[in-house]
């Protein structure tokens, strides 16, 4: 129960601190410019949709998917921030996009900060469970990214910048719970020693307490034109996704609805000029928006998406509407480093057992956890022993983005933000590639879905502390640069 008490204290301390308006250290400087770009990345029908253990095909489009970009230029340095309405994006796509952006726009590789939003109703871009990407769709993605960046660079104009922070505490809940023994879920490998359960039965009396904290902070970067009218807004929030879409529907989830709501507000003040909003995902590997102790509520399709998007958009606009915009220089700096991590590969006997099970299910759909994870075991046996994780940071004045190419647990984001040398630090997950879940070392000991070995969770437990150290070293290096 000590863990439970600690988590409660962390939650209330964080919620209280994030509730105050932190829209400070605003900036405008001669030579600072910003531009916006957008390209449609909606897939054709029939492609596999990401985010589930069984394959689903796209049958209809509820709302389009986009590559969104805000380009920045200060003192001759250019950078671009891009979000993709995808569940995840492979490093191969990111690296190809970096090359194209550098050739077409003159933006160095380290100055492209790219992340996936983590919608679970977008096309598969990297293989996951029983869904594989469409090669033709994946091939054109880097071009679409480069198109969005090029459009943003071509529309660069004098701008002012401010960063701030608000709070939306009632839409983030830790989805990993300590539960009574009867609710413990056996893992796919026949072991029943997990101490926590992801997504327990909602409202069940056997739930003891959450296994980790939440982060209600909504981080906002705001950009205005020289005449003070809205140009763009970038925000980040540590919420996995919302869901509740119709089966087979393509949707940007609440990330896309958020962008539409903010842009509708901006359009009323922009005099017909283009505007852009984007919402990135934070450290949300163990966070969703289900209030687990409460009794379940039913919503029509897309209703919960609209509800959450409106709350987050309203808070982002409140922060953006602060009048603290002033003149000061804007150093624009970036960094890109790699951390080597070991892969949790299966033993030979585990691979043999997996092969035997898969052989017995030849030409039949895999339905049970045991069958699905047997396939994961077989496929992981061909993974390299070690991988290199790209970690990136982009600093604009006293504000900084820190990118991790994983579904990082919430505590990781809190740790980095608290120790960062920057006045405002945004931790963005699913940035610059995809390397599965990144639980803390302590959470690995507790088990649960996010730790079960698969292509969605294959890094050794000691990866987390080394990633945190590397990110903080990178941020400190940037802070010390002239």
183-239 pLDDT tens trace = 999 999 988 899 999 999 999 999 999 999 999 999 999 999 999 999 999 999 999
**Cα separation of 117 and 428, whole Å?**
9
3 state DSSP class of 49: strand
- pLDDT for position 341: 98
- pLDDT for position 11: 29
pLDDT in tens, 307-333: 999 999 999 999 999 856 644 558 999
- pLDDT for position 23: 31
- pLDDT for position 36: 99
Phi, psi of 159 (to 5 degrees): -150, 165
If you ran DSSP here, which 8-state letter would residue 272 be given?
A: T
Angle between helices 253-267 and 303-320 in degrees, nearest 10: 50
**Cα separation of 464 and 404, whole Å?**
11
* Ranges of residues in the chain whose predicted pLDDT is under 50: 1-29, 326-327
- pLDDT for position 39: 99
- pLDDT for position 363: 84
**Cα separation of 126 and 424, whole Å?**
32
Residue 184's alpha-carbon distances to 82, 196, 290, in angstroms, are 40, 7, 19
**Cα separation of 244 and 465, whole Å?**
34
- pLDDT for position 75: 87
**Cα separation of 293 and 307, whole Å?**
20
pTM for the model stands at 0.93
């Amino acid at each position: 129960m000590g863990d439970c008490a600690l988590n409660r204290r962390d939650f209330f301390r964080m919620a209280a601190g994030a509730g105050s308006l932190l829209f400070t250290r605003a900036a405008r400087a001669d030579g600072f410019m910003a531009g916006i770009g957008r390209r449609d990345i909606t897939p054709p029908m029939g492609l596999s949709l990401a985010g589930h253990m069984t394959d689903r095909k796209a049958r209809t489009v509820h709302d389009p998917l986009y590559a969104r970009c805000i380009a920045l230029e200060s003192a001759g340095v250019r950078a671009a921030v891009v979000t993709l309405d995808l569940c995840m994006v492979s490093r191969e796509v990111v690296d190809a996009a970096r090359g194209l952006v550098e050739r077409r726009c003159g933006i160095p590789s380290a100055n492209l900060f790219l992340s996936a939003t983590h919608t679970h109703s977008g096309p598969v871009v990297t293989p996951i469970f029983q869904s594989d990407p469409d090669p033709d769709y994946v091939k054109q993605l880097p071009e679409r990214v480069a198109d969005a960046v090029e459009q943003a660079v071509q529309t660069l104009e004098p701008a002012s910048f401010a960063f701030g922070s608000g709070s939306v505490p009632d839409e983030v809940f830790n989805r990993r719970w300590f539960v009574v023994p009867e609710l413990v879920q056996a893992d796919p490998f026949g072991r029943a020693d997990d101490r926590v359960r992801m997504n327990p039965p909602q409202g069940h009396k056997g739930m003891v307490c959450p296994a980790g904290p939440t982060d209600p902070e909504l981080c906002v970067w705001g950009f205005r034109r020289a005449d003070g009218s809205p140009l763009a807004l970038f925000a980040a929030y540590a919420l996995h996704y919302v869901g509740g879409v119709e089966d087979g529907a393509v949707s940007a989830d609440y990330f896309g609805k958020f962008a539409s709501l903010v842009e509708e507000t901006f359009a009323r003040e922009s005099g017909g000029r283009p505007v852009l909003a984007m919402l990135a995902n934070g450290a949300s590997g163990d966070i969703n928006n289900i209030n687990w102790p409460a009794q379940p509520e039913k919503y029509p399709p897309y209703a919960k998406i609209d509800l959450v998007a409106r709350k987050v958009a309203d808070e982002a606009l409140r922060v953006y509407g602060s009048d603290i915009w002033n003149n000061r220089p804007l150093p624009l700096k970036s960094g890109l480093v790699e951390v080597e991590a070991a892969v949790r590969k299966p033993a030979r006997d585990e691979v043999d057992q997996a092969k035997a099970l898969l052989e017995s299910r030849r030409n039949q759909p895999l339905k049970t956890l045991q069958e699905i994870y047997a396939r994961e075991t077989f496929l992981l046996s061909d993974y390299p022993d070690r991988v290199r994780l790209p970690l990136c940071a982009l600093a604009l004045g006293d504000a900084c983005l820190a990118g991790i190419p994983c579904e990082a647990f919430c505590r990781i984001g809190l740790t980095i933000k608290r120790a960062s040398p920057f006045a405002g630090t945004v931790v963005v997950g699913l940035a610059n590639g995809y390397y599965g879940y990144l639980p803390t070392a302590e959470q690995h000991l507790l088990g649960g879905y996010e730790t079960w070995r698969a292509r969605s969770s294959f890094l050794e437990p000691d990866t987390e502390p080394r990633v945190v150290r590397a990110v903080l070293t990178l941020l400190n290096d940037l802070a010390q640069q002239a």
